[in-house]
Structure 1
């Protein structure tokens, strides 16, 4: 592996791509610690050192994807979350708006148009989210923390808050551009690598906090849990259900085409991390609304008593929502009718299955059975951090949730595969050789 790493840096164009990617990632981290104009950095650090957030909820989820930039109110406070949300919304709208589905089928030109819509929606969501964050930061208990000794935003005038909203929204647009630069000129998927950077940036601080607060024994227990979860994620994410496809022989002029055998790979976790994000967001919304409401109201008290991450009701609802969104998102992204039509168009068939409707039924049967295993896997992975916290008796959550482990492993594997393919194109042994 070390020799492959050295070969990657000895190859001029590959070295240029790797250095460009690392440079963009460093620039992203710089923006994550650069404070937004109008924010008192000293007051933020003082408040963060005294905070005691028992149930961060949605804000903690956003903070994970921003690498800790949200709770520091930096220029990149929103992180990559608006782009992720916009991408998911555009994908879901394909089911509702026929025009979007037609664009998806047009190929590269249609995909470019959908990407343009995603960018516009990202900026719109950035304005909404930055407005909510600025409004929350200007309160006496920002982000559900204990009351801060000094205000995070000393000057809460309309022009100052408007400047903060514009700055954070511009930061979101810049992050989107940086991610696209990595995709075009660097190595790997830019947006995924920026999320990976945000998650890894939090690792040393969170592990040290557990080591200092819970002791060495629990620290090594947490490390062991993370390693076991990582190995399990690698194993399952690499696993696929292969459906064999045979292409009939056909003569075109004097040439013979077809006659080959291939397969349709179906991943066990087809939906990826999307169901976990959806479920976390939905369960965290009531907590967010409760922070801006009268604390004596009955529904606010019910949310406070039943929607904490360690409550039985929360865990059951969380698991059921993940199951639902796994099947829902898989049904959107995997279309058996489209696959069956493409196979029929090019003379392909599944051995023992007739073309047309029987193929559609067979593919639906297989994807449903695979999705059952994938959804159970996601539920276990998502609930693992909370179960580990209860078992170990920790006062804080694990530095890696199921979502973060899934993202880290998935992005890492995909990036290594791309570097490996680049090396093999130049007749070098890759990382996985």
Structure 2
């Protein structure tokens, strides 16, 4: 306990870190206040939002911090921006024009960001129309059509763009990745309701407190398993040649390239989730055209949904790892710096060696990721409350763990740069290495 208070005191002593944390908390406060502001022309007492709390739309409601079910001005959250980012990244693989922009450095990145913003506006406008038509009942509307739909579409689009702006401000002037932190806060806001609902459900005779305690132990085990998947690395030894400059010797020591078991982070689940939202979106626009196949893909506890979801996650894990980690660039960087993998020739042989290791560790990593993603469905089948079951795996748990670890690492970096002890007793967060990473990239949402 004394160590904790000492660490908090050290955090407060660093002015830059203190300002960044307070700025982040201020933005999050604005975001949470906005999530309770209902759209103009909507009667909150007449909202029929049970569908938004259960089923597939419950995931959207969780990511938006409950704004989706409350018909808030932030009801769509940052999901349209994430969808637009996914589309732009896919275009960067298939379209030469976007490939060229990706290679233009900072100027190209600014162009891509601008295109992503414009695409976000279009996606948000379409989703806003579907949201108004499907989630706000006629009894809850105080304004006649078409004025209500048009005004709601404009406000929801502006709300999403404002949330996106707040996320960018957190990234620039706050602590952590802004978009990820906004999603995390929305998920955490639903956690007390989920725990309380499950507690009352078990207390009223469905298993009793023993079953509730077993569920908490199972949740803790899943969190530990998720941390191991996120932090797991395969260390590739790298030897650097000795260099003598004046009277000093440089190099000649062995370091490691930490290749992550899950280098793609939560992006494969988000990619797959965005695709799995398509059937429910189609059902919103064409309610009369729903078939048994469409209905099964809208039920996230069905066998067809989970099998397809797991396969998409495995495929997207390989895809995203391939576009974020370049073994050829890593081999070239090592060669330029006089480094080599013991027993492997520099150049192409090193690139092939690294590529083979990445392929071997990515496959089990993708399997574990798929298992974590479909765990909530098994929890619901086992009798867990659907609101609480979301935290037994899936995107919500991965985002929580990944964002918390990333934010803690940033705070720890500020402490270590100013010669304070880190957050842990060893001075490093468990799972991190003190070795130099060559050419690796980590995907964080």
Query: Does TM, scored on the shorter chain, surpass 0.5?
Result: yes
How far residue 368 of structure 1 moved from its aligned partner, in angstroms, is 0.8
Q: Does 1:333 align with 2:332?
A: no
Moved more, 184-193 or 307-316: 307-316
> What SS does the aligned partner of 1:309 have?
coil
Q: Does 1:270 align with 2:263?
A: yes
Preserved CA contact (<8 Å) 1:276 1:403: yes
Preserved CA contact (<8 Å) 2:197 2:388: no
Match of 2:116 in 1: 118
Preserved CA contact (<8 Å) 1:389 1:396: no
**Residue in structure 1 matching 2:397, options 369, 384, 405:** 405
Q: 1:260-305 CA deviation, whole Å, 9 max, x = no partner? A: 543222111111112222223323322332344355x6x6134335
Match of 2:281 in 1: 288
Match of 1:94 in 2: 92
| Structure 2 unmatched ranges of 5 or more | 204-208, 426-445
**Residue in structure 2 matching 1:154, options 138, 142, 154:** 142
Preserved CA contact (<8 Å) 2:168 2:179: yes
Q: 1:22 to 1:87 in 2, by over 3 A?
A: same
| Structure 1 unmatched ranges of 5 or more | 141-149
Q: 1:127 to 1:284 in 2, by over 3 A?
A: closer
Q: 1:260 to 1:352 in 2, by over 3 A?
A: same
Structure 1 segment 128-277 matched on structure 2, within 5 A: 128-138=126-136, 140=137, 151-215=139-203, 216-249=209-242, 259-277=252-270
Preserved CA contact (<8 Å) 2:38 2:72: yes
Q: 1:429 to 1:253 in 2, by over 3 A?
A: closer
Q: 1:413 to 1:339 in 2, by over 3 A?
A: same
Q: 1:71-117 CA deviation, whole Å, 9 max, x = no partner? A: 21101111111222222222222212334334334443433333333
Q: 1:321 to 1:55 in 2, by over 3 A?
A: farther
Preserved CA contact (<8 Å) 1:241 1:267: yes
**Residue in structure 2 matching 1:19, options 17, 22, 30:** 22
Q: 1:240 to 1:66 in 2, by over 3 A?
A: same
Q: 1:108 to 1:252 in 2, by over 3 A?
A: farther
Preserved CA contact (<8 Å) 1:5 1:431: no
Q: 1:344 to 1:406 in 2, by over 3 A?
A: same
With structure 2 as the length reference, what TM-score do the two structures score?
0.85
Preserved CA contact (<8 Å) 1:340 1:356: yes
Over the aligned positions, Cα root-mean-square deviation in angstroms equals 2.6
Q: 1:283 to 1:103 in 2, by over 3 A?
A: closer
> What SS does the aligned partner of 1:202 have?
helix
How far residue 259 of structure 1 moved from its aligned partner, in angstroms, is 4.4
> What SS does the aligned partner of 1:392 have?
coil
Q: Distance in 2 between matches of 1:360 and 1:266?
A: 13
Preserved CA contact (<8 Å) 1:55 1:309: no
With structure 1 as the length reference, what TM-score do the two structures score?
0.87
**Residue in structure 2 matching 1:41, options 36, 44, 54:** 44
